[in-house]
């Protein structure tokens, strides 16, 4: 954790992961009810996230 910052709770981690992959944390449950849409969304955003991670390194 950053110095002087509060400890992060477990429930904060999934929210920050969703934000880093540009999935709206308020609407992820709506997307996940449709399995094919959820799988497509996860596959797309994870590829984009990985591509951005590699270019930053």
Residue 36 located in a structural domain: yes
What integer pLDDT is reported at residue 1 of this predicted model?
62
**45 found inside a domain:** yes
Overall pTM surpassing 0.85 (yes/no): no
* Domains held by the chain: number: 1
Within a domain: 35: yes
Could you list the residue range(s) of the whole structural domain that residue 39 is in? Answer: 22-56
Please provide the DSSP assignment of the chain as one string. --TTPPPPPTTHHHHHHHHHTT--TTTHHHHHTSHHHHHHHHHHHHHHHHHHHHHH-
In a domain, 3, yes or no: no
| In-domain check, residue 42 | yes
- Give 31-55 pLDDT, tens digit per residue: 999 999 999 999 999 999 899 989 9
């Amino acid at each position: 954790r950053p110095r002087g910052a509060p400890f992060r709770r477990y429930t904060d981690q999934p929210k920050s992961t969703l934000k880093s992959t540009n999935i709206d944390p308020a609407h992820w449950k709506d997307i996940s009810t449709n399995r094919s849409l959820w799988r497509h969304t996860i596959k797309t955003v994870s590829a984009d996230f990985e591509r951005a991670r590699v270019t930053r390194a």
